[in-house]
Amino acid sequence: MRAVNGGDPLAGPREGALRITLAGWTVVLEVEDAALAGPLQRVFGAFLAPEAVEADARLVMRAPSVPSAPPTVQELPRLEPGDAGTLRVEGAGYSAVLSQDRSHADVIGSGRYPVENVIKVMLASALAKRGGLLIHGVGLVHEGRAALFVGHSGAGKSTLGELWRDAGGTVLADELVAVWPVEGGGW
């Protein structure tokens, strides 16, 4: 992954940018901070997509003009409609503007959390366009079918996933599960 030196966030992807695919949706990640490339590679390593895969979206992250210490507590981002259908995403220590179609994001912040949080907003929007959802839960495979368990934080979803995996079962996703309808009436 190569760091970027600013420029128009709506221009095409820069060579060497990190490209990931989540739930059939591919996003190119470009970050100004070269030191962030390694942590993002580790976080999204299981979802890396070849450069030949066409991107559906692009996220460009630049460092703030005045550096600040990362927040000690993460909070839910605040979403505010902007001009011409854009969406502003404000979180602890970062801000982002998403294009009207939610396929481009220009993020000002540092560290991996702004990238992760803005990707969640973009992915949720992409899934909604397909009739899908991004759900807080754990997805398992049981007898060849997917099972989804949801609940509040601390309800035991991740524990269920760990126990399922320890018993030889397959865990599809833990924490956030993407679901969308497919041809033939399935999900």
Question: What are the tens digits of pLDDT across the range 122-164?
Answer: 999 999 999 999 999 999 999 999 999 999 999 999 999 999 9
Q: What is the pLDDT of residue 35?
A: 87
Instruction: Give the domain-ending residue among 112, 129, 146.
Output: 129
Question: Residue 98: its pLDDT value, please?
Answer: 98
Taking the C-alpha atoms of residue 96 and residue 83, their distance in angstroms, rounded to an integer, is 13
pLDDT recorded at residue 3? 34
Q: Are residues 61 and 148 in the same domain?
A: no
Mean pLDDT of 92-109: 96
On the question of pLDDT at 6 being above 70, the answer is no
Q: How confident is the model at residue 115 (pLDDT cuts 50, 70, 90)?
A: very high
Q: What pLDDT shows up at residue 167?
A: 96
* 109 and 165 belong to one structural domain: no
- What pLDDT shows up at residue 185? 87
Q: State the chain's mean pLDDT as an integer.
A: 89
- 70 pLDDT higher than 90: no
User: Are 109 and 156 in the same domain?
Assistant: no
> Residue 13's pLDDT is what?
45
Structural domain includes residue 68: yes
Q: Are residues 105 and 137 in the same domain?
A: no
**140 and 124 inside one domain:** no
User: Has residue 6 been placed in a domain?
Assistant: no
Total number of domains in the chain: 2
pLDDT confidence of residue 16: 54
Cβ contacts of 112 within 8 Å, gap of 6 or more: 36, 39, 40, 43
Q: Are residues 32 and 118 in the same domain?
A: yes
Strand order in the sheet with 170-179: 145-150, 133-142, 170-179
In which domain, by residue range, is 148 found? 133-179
In a domain, 12, yes or no: no
Per residue in 13-61, pLDDT tens?
A: 455 589 999 999 999 999 998 888 889 999 999 999 999 999 999 999 9
Alpha carbon separation from 157 to 86, 94, 154 (Å, rounded): 34, 29, 8
Q: Give me the sheet containing 57-62, strands edge to edge.
A: 18-22, 25-31, 57-62, 104-108, 94-98, 87-91, 78-81
66 belongs to a structural domain: yes
Same domain? For 157 and 80 the reply is no
Please report whether residue 4 resides in a domain.
Answer: no
Distance CA 115, CA 109 (A): 9
Residues 144, 12: Cα–Cα separation, whole Å: 40
